[in-house]
A and B are shown apart, each in its own frame.
Chain A
Amino acid sequence: MTDAPAATQHKVFSLSRVTAISSNTLLELVRLKVFYFMLLFALLIIGSSAFTAKFSFQEQFQVLKDVSLGAMSIFTWLLAVLSTAMLLPKDIEDRTLYTILAKPVPRFEYLLGKFLGVLLLLFIAISLMSAVFVLVLYTREQAALAEAAGGVPAELLQSELQQIRAGAFNANLLPGIVIIYLKAALCAALTLLLSTFASSWIFTIIISVVVYLIGHIQPIAREAYLASVTVTPLTKVFLALVSLIIPDLTALSLVDDIVVGNAIPMMMFAKTAALGGIYVGVYFLLGYFMFASKEL
């Protein structure tokens, strides 16, 4: 008589379970055809190039960079909010959530897997958009270089070519793109937190959009709260609540200045990225705290 096989010991935290959930989440999101926005993005930046064809190359590059990075910000934010807001309600509606949680999968792993799936989606989206952006910028740069080589007098050619290269891609854009990603991740984490106690995904989206808008003027409220100006106690309480609860999104809105050539020192970039990372971590953990006791 052989011994019964020893039962596999259940781990408190399993990376493979989180990976399985996150890859499935990514697959579900991709099946929602969210990547159609890429077509819109490509059309937008190629269209903007055509629209500025009669401008000087400096103007063309400036508009192209502004439009591309602006579109990246908008699309990643929309993607983050919309996909995260529907994560939990969709799983509840499809009953997938019950199937998963009926198995020995802790709620923390489930939520982490879901959130990582969204972060992965955002990463793929921003990578694809960056690739399209760099490709279009490179094509325009080559066209401008060829045009200059054919039409600029020899004594001015070197400085003209140098100006074209300086006006096109520069390494400072990379930290800018990373910060766009972090801002989108923050919005995703915030939306996840909201969705853990919201009753509908529409409510989650609306509140998330409102917080996004207020987040960009939060520093004004903060400075007014900290300044020793005479305001009514009620106003003081309101300013304090806005300053303390709403995230400061201007700290992660550096791309408007980076795109015009502002250099971001490495230390400042690290601090800004750390702030973004901390926001994501804290909002996720608070979201889990709510989700852990949520009646499903």
Chain B
Amino acid sequence: MNRRGVIVIGLLLVFGAVRMPFERQLEAEHRAAYFHGAQLDLGLREQIGQMAFLAALSGFRALVADGFYLHAHALWERTEWGRMKLNFDAVVALQPRCILFWDQAAWHMAYNASVAAFEDKKQPREALRIKARNEYWKLGEDFLIRGIANNPDNPTLYDRLGFLYREKYRDHCKSAELYAQCSRVKGAPGYARRFAAYELAQCPGHEREAYEKLRALYLEGQQEHLPTLLKWLGNLQEKLDIPAADRLNIPPSAHP
């Protein structure tokens, strides 16, 4: 190598030393803004294969994730739940900031796979079918919990998890907690606060707290005087034996 070549390498080293602190700071800023969140580790390499891993490492993560997502969709059509779950694991590992992927993975597990397992005609024992169904609920729940951990700034997955606790587990206390968390996130749907209060009303020991929340919502104005809200408010007024002077004027027909 000639003298100039050596100088160029020296200058590259100097440039590298100068840019290093800036790049580290920039990387920290990127991570704080939820960039580069994918965990491209050896576990993922085993899961997706060498070529896909190399492509993901080379800056084509989104494309690789789409490939696995399309494959997961095909597996869903063929009701191959186990393989579908593995594909979704790869998809969300590659694109942890994509709400759609977490949402779909959880939905397929907790709703489609669980129902298929429960109605599996090849399994005559109901106890085992219930066990399989519950395991799929758990897998769906797990996707949503991990999704929230990766996207704490997005209300959608809190909403979905609150719905899962309400509809599948019938765990109104957890559901209330999730809807309440959802309502605190920027961009939350307007119903999140109401749903948190409705679920709390069904959480044993929290009726008074639920009543206060429903009452506060009611006092916000006509737009909150919705049939379900009136129903729960009326029911709780009866249940908690609220003094007549403090009661809100809810028509009996609103809370049969």
A interface residues (Cβ-Cβ under 8 A, vs B): 51-52, 55, 58-59, 62-63, 66-67, 69-70, 73-74, 183, 193, 197, 212-213, 216-217, 219, 222, 226, 243-245, 248-251, 253-257, 259-265, 268, 271-272, 275, 278, 282, 286, 289-290, 293
Contacts and interface: CB of A to CB of B under 8 A. Distances in A.
Interface of B: 1-2, 4-5, 7-9, 11-13, 15-17, 19-20, 22-24, 26-27, 29-30, 33-38, 54, 57-63, 65-66, 69-70, 73, 95, 97-100, 104
Given A244-B16, A282-B15, A286-B8, A253 B95 contact: no
A261 B70 CA distance: 20
Contacts of A263: 33
Nearest to B7: A289
Contacts of B60: 70, 73-74, 256
- Most chain B beta-carbon neighbours within 10 Å: one of A197, A217, A251: A251
Contacts of A245: 9, 12-13, 16
Given A219-B27, A275-B23, A290 B66 contact: no
Contacts of A259: 62
Given A244-B17, A261-B99, A286-B12, 13 more contacts: A55-B73, A222-B24, A243-B20, A244-B15, A245-B16, A251-B23, A256-B95, A257-B97, A261-B98, A262-B34, A271-B26, A272-B26, A289-B8
Contact of A260 (B16, B54, B95): B95
A222 B23 contact: yes
A293 B19 CA distance: 27
B66 A63 contact: yes
B63 A257 contact: no
A216 B57 contact: yes
A62 B23 contact: no
A89 B1 CA distance: 19
A67 B66 contact: yes
A216 B58 contact: yes
A63 B16 CA distance: 37
Given A222-B23, A271-B26, A278-B19, A286 B11 contact: yes
A62 B57 contact: no
Nearest to B23: A248
Nearest to A219: B27
Contacts of B63: 66-67, 70
4 closest A-B pairs by beta carbon, nearest first, are A244-B16, A70-B63, A260-B98, A66-B62
A116 B111 CA distance: 56
A197 B26 contact: no
A97 B117 CA distance: 72
15 contacts: A63-B70, A70-B63, A193-B8, A226-B24, A245-B16, A254-B35, A256-B61, A257-B35, A257-B37, A262-B35, A263-B33, A264-B35, A265-B33, A286-B12, A293-B2
A213 B19 contact: no
Nearest to A257: B35
Contacts of B59: 73, 183, 216, 249-250, 253, 256
B56 to A, nearest CB: 9
A189 to B, nearest CB: 12
Contacts of A282: 15
Contacts of B54: 213
B120 to A, nearest CB: 26
Contacts of B37: 257
A272 B69 CA distance: 30
Contacts of B27: 219, 248, 250-251
A183 B58 CA distance: 12
A276 B171 CA distance: 51
